[in-house]
Every structure is written in structure tokens, then in C-alpha cells.
Amino acid sequence: MLKIKRRRFFKLLAKYRKNPDNFSIQYARKTINRKIDTDIERNIVKELKIEKDLIKNKEVPVKYYNYSYLKDLLGQKYDQKVSLPTIIDRAKRNNFYFLRPKRKAHDKEVLTNYPGELIQHDSSHHRFASYAANKWYLITSLDDYSRFLLYASLVERETTWEHIWSEPLRLDTLRLNTLCIPESYSLPITSRIPLEADTPKRNATSYYYTHLQ
């Protein structure tokens, strides 16, 4: 009926018998809950402002607050231990919080039947390091079937040669990662024909596509 355990019942009974006039089961908190040091509070808001500036900077590919990173940063930079829920709570109070938008469903889906049938190769140009002076090009290759990242490279200048150079490397990665690609297998994209050592880089593109025909 009381929905308490036997041990708890007899503790309350003993407390009642000791002082029946002042007996109460109301919980009286003696300390303020969820209160943190003012220095910690100030540093949380300070680092959240820095994160907000990065999010607002269109040249930096940062779109959301990283509260776990802030938790580690407070420990490393200020030697202050703060729980993740506390940081999120302060972010909400100070308008440093927003919900992530729901991902849109893919309306175009490419169905592949085996590894290597389709490789998605692309590049993007961003300031990948938040405080770097210059932007870099990120060149990536993704196997559509396994969703395995076959190749990734950061380069200062995007050239045709950089894309050509990535192909033999991503094919080797495809074989080495237990995807059972035989040595004699040829992908329908581009070619695996090596360039001669004396082939000038400026002529690499024309040489490459000549051998594809």
C-alpha cells in the first residue's frame, strides 16, 4: 500500500517514534541544486560564443555546436570538469542551441550489386581547419555498394593530375579491404593504365584519355 520497502518502512517508523511531533516525510533540500562555479559558467558561455562565430562563418564547414568537444576543452584548457547535460543546459539558457534539421530522404537512389560497380568520386573546397589561413580541396572516393571510403586527400590545388593519381590508390584499397576484387578485375570507370615515367604531367590528361579509347 505504501509502495516502499520493508527496510525503508522501519527507518521511518524509528524516526517517528523518536520525535512524533516533528515527524515529516517531506524532503527538504539543504543545498541549491545544479549550481556551478561562476568561473565555469563564464568559460562555458565564452567558448560557446567562439563556436557560434565559427558556425556563422560561411567559409568554415561547421554547422552545429559540438558540446562534447566543449566538455573536453573545458577540462584541457581550464582544468574544469563539467557534465555534458550542464553544458547543453547553459547553451539553451544563453541561446546557443538549436535543433538539427531532419535529413531529407534520398529521392534518387542508385542500386548496385557488387563492390566496385560504382564509385562516387568528388571534391569540395573548404577551410577544413577552423583557424587555418587558406582553404583546401578534399578529394574523396566512395564505393556505392559497401559505402566504404576508398580514398581521401587534402590538396592545396585541385588539378586533373590529383584526380588521376587517386585512382590506382583507391583500387588497391578496394582489394585490400576484403571486398574480394580480383587482380584482373577492371572497373568500368576510367582506367588502370599506368603512365610512363617520362610522361610530362602537363600531358598526363591527354595521354590518359587516349588510352581509354
C-alpha cell at 116: 566496385
pLDDT of residue 34: 62
The predicted model scores a pTM of 0.54
Mean pLDDT of 105-130: 81
Asked if the structure places residue 16 within a domain, the reply is: yes
- Strand order of the β-sheet with 136-143 is 119-126, 136-143, 149-155
pLDDT in tens, 163-199: 888 777 666 666 655 444 444 444 433 333 333 334 3
C-alpha cell at 34: 545544479
Residues of the domain holding 157:
136-210
Same domain for 84 and 148? Answer: no
pLDDT for 133 beyond 90: no
- Torsion of the alpha carbons at 10, 11, 17 and 19, rounded to the nearest 10: -160
Asked if the structure places residue 86 within a domain, the reply is: yes
Asked if the structure places residue 47 within a domain, the reply is: yes
Same domain for 141 and 87? Answer: no
Find all residues with CB under 8 Å of 97, minimum gap 6, and list them.
65, 88, 91
With beta carbons less than 8 A apart as the criterion, state whether 120 and 75 touch. no
Asked if the structure places residue 110 within a domain, the reply is: no
Of residues 68 and 211, which shows the higher confidence score? 68
- The tally of domains found in the chain comes to 2
pLDDT for 49 beyond 80: yes
Asked if the structure places residue 123 within a domain, the reply is: no
Mean pLDDT (the chain, rounded): 76
Asked if the structure places residue 55 within a domain, the reply is: yes
Asked if the structure places residue 112 within a domain, the reply is: no
Measured CA distances, 36 to 28, 44, 89 (Å): 20, 11, 12
C-alpha cell at 197: 615515367
Q: Which runs of consecutive H residues, i.e. helices, occur in 57-195?
A: 67-77, 84-93, 160-176
Same domain for 146 and 204? Answer: yes
Same domain for 19 and 76? Answer: yes
Measured CA to CA, the distance from residue 68 to residue 91 in angstroms comes to 12
Same domain for 74 and 16? Answer: yes
Point out the least confidently predicted range of 39-48, 89-98, 145-154: 145-154
Asked if the structure places residue 152 within a domain, the reply is: yes
Same domain for 88 and 140? Answer: no
Percent of the chain with pLDDT over 90: 29
